[in-house]
């Protein structure tokens, strides 16, 4: 898949570095509520500080659609990062312009400046060459450590890398190596557990993985679509009607190739999605009209546990039920604990799954937790990611 240019390949001593990070973190009333993505940038920042670099940090936050939005300012992050690094991190309220250029010109080795949200300018998402040039003019070296955004053809991901000597940061390098190993040389048997709500967002990764895994577990609401495509009655459960044909084709391709495919056989069902609703267990094809499957039942969890127990590597993306509500998080928690207890190499595929294991303080117990949901899935689907392609030697 090609080798990434890494930090060791560049002469960084005393250089001014434009470091693209992913600080797209939840901020509520001006307070950062999850610091994990900020913490993930620390190894690269410290590496650059050891080289006496001046560091210009750049990130997006949310979807401001090309104009300033006060609630999406990166300013609160400067204080958090100062605490993590135990050193001053300055903030400036724009990412281009004379004021920014002057400030970056004055930076000396060991100083850190956090720019304002890149997406406050439409040129970021448009990969506008003029915007990219203005960003590139701030520094001498470009480093990309924003894995969660590396599948975007944006100015700070692609445009700046075309204009400056460049390398992958520590996080991007680790993400790429870990995920490509799953595709190229995973410890066998290799199992994938794919859940979440939509088949439509995971068709490509399912199609690519069925040639590489030994067992495939399908859970979450997307299992309803697979089961419906095979003729089962899922009552009022969420089903993607326009994905039934594709789901059936993937299932048949997997089975005909000798792959073990695990679909749920029992469910926790309810008439509505809420913490206080009455629930009961139902076998497959016994869900009553008006009821929805909102989590997997114990028989399904036991079957999944057997797959985990015999695996030497496991990739998990997508919760197995409506895990935002604790009542419907049981199967996902069961899976998490079984994976943690196993001796297999465990990889969590970012996004909602990473948020789930973080919520239950389980992050550190897995072998690797990706910071990028969409990026990790696109990489595992065999797609070329614009930012990764820029960083290859």
Tell me how far apart the alpha carbons of residues 387 and 155 are, in angstroms, rounded to a whole number. 10
**Which residue among 16, 20, 37, 202 is the active-site one?**
37
Q: Cα separation of 48 and 352, whole Å? A: 30
- Please provide residue 177's backbone torsions phi and psi, each rounded to the nearest 5 degrees: -65, -40
DSSP structure class, residue 247: H
Exactly one of 51, 75, 181, 198 is catalytic; name it. 198
Burial 134-168 (b: 16+ CB within 10 A, else e): bbbbbbbbbbbbbbbbbbbebbbbbbbbebbbbbb
Kindly write down the DSSP assignment for every residue of 131-167, as one continuous string: HHHHHHTT-SEEEE--GGGTTS--IIIIITTTTS-EE
257 is catalytic: no
Question: Is 119 one of the annotated active-site residues of the chain?
Answer: no
Residue 367 catalytic?
no
Strand partners, 19: 57, 143
What are the backbone angles phi and psi of residue 57, rounded to the nearest 5°?
Answer: -90, 135
Out of 219, 351, 372, 387, the active site residue is 351
Closest CA relative to residue 250, chosen from 305, 302, 287, 209: 209
* Beta strands at 90-91 and 112-114: parallel, antiparallel or unpaired: parallel
Q: Is 37 assigned a catalytic role?
A: yes
Tokens 């004021």 correspond to 99
Give all strands of the β-sheet with 215-218 in edge-to-edge order.
260-262, 215-218, 190-194, 313-317, 345-348, 368-369
Q: What token pair was written down for 63?
A: 């979807």
Candidates 271, 374, 382, 383; catalytic one: 374
Catalytic residues: 37, 198, 351, 374
């Amino acid at each position: 898949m090609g080798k990434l240019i890494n930090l060791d390949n560049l002469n960084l001593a005393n250089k001014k570095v434009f470091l693209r990070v992913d600080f797209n973190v939840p901020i509520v009333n001006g307070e950062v509520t999850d610091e994990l993505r900020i913490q993930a940038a620390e190894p690269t920042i410290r590496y650059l500080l050891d080289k006496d670099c001046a560091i210009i940090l750049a990130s997006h936050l949310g979807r401001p659609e090309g104009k300033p939005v006060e609630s999406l300012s990166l300013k609160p992050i400067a204080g958090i990062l100062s605490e993590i690094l135990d050193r001053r991190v300055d903030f400036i309220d724009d990412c281009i312009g004379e004021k920014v250029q002057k400030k970056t010109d004055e930076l000396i080795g060991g100083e850190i400046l956090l720019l304002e949200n890149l997406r406050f300018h439409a040129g970021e998402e448009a990969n506008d060459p003029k915007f990219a040039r203005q960003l590139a003019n701030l520094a001498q070296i470009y480093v990309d450590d924003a894995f969660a955004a590396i599948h975007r053809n944006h100015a700070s991901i692609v445009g700046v890398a075309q204009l400056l000597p460049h390398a992958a940061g520590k996080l991007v390098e680790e993400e790429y190596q870990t995920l490509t190993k799953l595709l190229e040389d995973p410890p066998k048997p290799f199992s994938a557990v794919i859940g979440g709500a939509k088949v439509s967002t995971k068709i490509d990764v399912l199609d690519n993985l069925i040639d590489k895994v030994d067992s495939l577990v399908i859970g979450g609401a997307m299992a309803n679509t697979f089961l419906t495509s095979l003729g089962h009655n899922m009552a009022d459960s969420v089903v993607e009607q326009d994905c039934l044909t594709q789901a059936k084709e993937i299932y048949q391709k997997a089975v005909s190739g000798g792959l073990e495919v695990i679909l749920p056989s029992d469910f926790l069902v309810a008439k509505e999605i809420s913490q206080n609703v009455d629930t009961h267990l139902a076998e497959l094809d016994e869900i009553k009209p008006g009821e929805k499957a909102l989590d997997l039942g114990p028989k399904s969890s036991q079957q999944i546990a057997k797959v985990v127990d015999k695996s030497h590597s496991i990739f998990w993306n997508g919760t197995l039920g409506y895990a935002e509500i604790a009542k419907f998080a049981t199967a996902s928690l069961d899976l998490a604990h079984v994976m943690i207890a196993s001796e297999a190499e465990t990889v969590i595929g970012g996004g909602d799954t990473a948020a789930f294991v973080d919520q239950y303080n389980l992050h550190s117990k897995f072998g690797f937790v990706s910071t990028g949901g969409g990026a990790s899935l696109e990489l595992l689907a065999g797609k070329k990611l614009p930012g990764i392609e820029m960083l290859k030697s």
